[in-house]
Amino acid sequence: MAVKLNIAILSLLLLFISIPKAKSTVLDVVANFGAKADGKTDLSTPLLKAWKEACASTTPSKIVIPKGTYLLSRAALEGPCKSSIELQVQGTIMAPANPSAFNVPEWVVFNHVDGLTMSGGGVFDGQGAAAWGKNNCAQNKYCAALPLNLRFNFVNNAMIQDITTKDSKQFHVNVLGCQNITFQRFTVSAPENSLNTDGIHVGRSNGVTILNSNIKTGDDCVSIGDGSKNVVIQGVTCGPGHGISIGSLGKYEGEEPVSGIFVKDCTISNTMNGVRIKTWPASHPGSASDMHFEGITMNNVGNPILVDQEYCPWNQCNLKVPSRVKLSKISFKNIGGTSSTQVAVKIVCSSGLPCEGVELADINLAYNGPEGPAISQCSNVNPKLSGKQNPSACSSKPSA
């Protein structure tokens, strides 16, 4: 036993001895690179200089943006870097308010970075109000040029915590081609009328975790696109917005499968939808499986539980041709609260590829509107039922 204890103590001593070697080099954009927190001087050059130095360092680096208000025209923070980088944002960073200042749909973007930490309690303010009345993507292409607040492209092993994104002109956060990226105590803040401002959109990424975060926006709080795998959304407060969505899927050729989506212990309030899966009719082939929603509280939510394989916004599709996206292994468990629409549970699957392995357990959703109590609608699905079912779940006959 003494030998084992000595070995353990020696291991701890070696660990403590090694800690100073990992001490970060601190790069302050104000003190070291001349940035000005006056809300008028562009932060772009000081930030990019600090990033370039940090990225070239063979030891971990910390970039500090101190408290204050900064104007940032645009920043593309490029990797790969030689060591890990911590970006500590303490201040408020503002985008140009005029949408015409951007000719590409990005404002702050991280490309090909491994070992990124962003923290500090700071705010990225996209000043998007001037754009929201114009970015109806269903009717024009204007929004294609509108910038997102934060893009993470091919970023691996990252932690984003205690950061706020505010009033983006388009999506707040886009996660593409990433592995092992976590958002924790992350805040999205935008009004209900901010069109097309998804909180966090995930696409073609593996191991995305969103924890204990607060998302208020004008579109999906979290949206999951094709190729997303092993996504965990837990302890998220959503609303206003359009809820937490998987899809829409099947619109484009070559979309990659979605699998391993876990939404747990979330609260959704005053949103257009609750938790939903949506695919286009007349779609390209695809699949989504192993999707689980558990421990969700709904407060005055439209369509609290929704699977829609006839998703057809703006009537831009052919409803006569069924979706070719196969949905399977789906569970909704311990979901309760209040619905703002009478149809509290709606599971409309493809007539060409009916849903398989759907489970409903302990559902308790109340509706107090003039039409009567809450109801469910289902088609092309035969779910496994257990526990309380309020409203009475999917009858054996598909409903129209």
Catalytic residue list: 242
3-class DSSP assignment, residue 301: strand
Angle at 116 between CA 112 and CA 119, to 5 degrees: 140
Distance CA 76, CA 106 (A): 9
Distance CA 263, CA 76 (A): 31
Q: What is the 3-state secondary structure (H, E, C) of 262-291?
A: EEECCEEECCCCCEEEEECCCCCCEEEEEE
Distance CA 225, CA 288 (A): 10
Residue 211, beta-bridge partner list: 184, 234
Helix (H) or strand (E) holding 311: none
Residue 126 one-letter amino acid: G
Is residue 63 a contact partner of residue 84, using CB atoms and an 8 Å limit? no
Q: Which two tokens stand for residue 307?
A: 């699977």
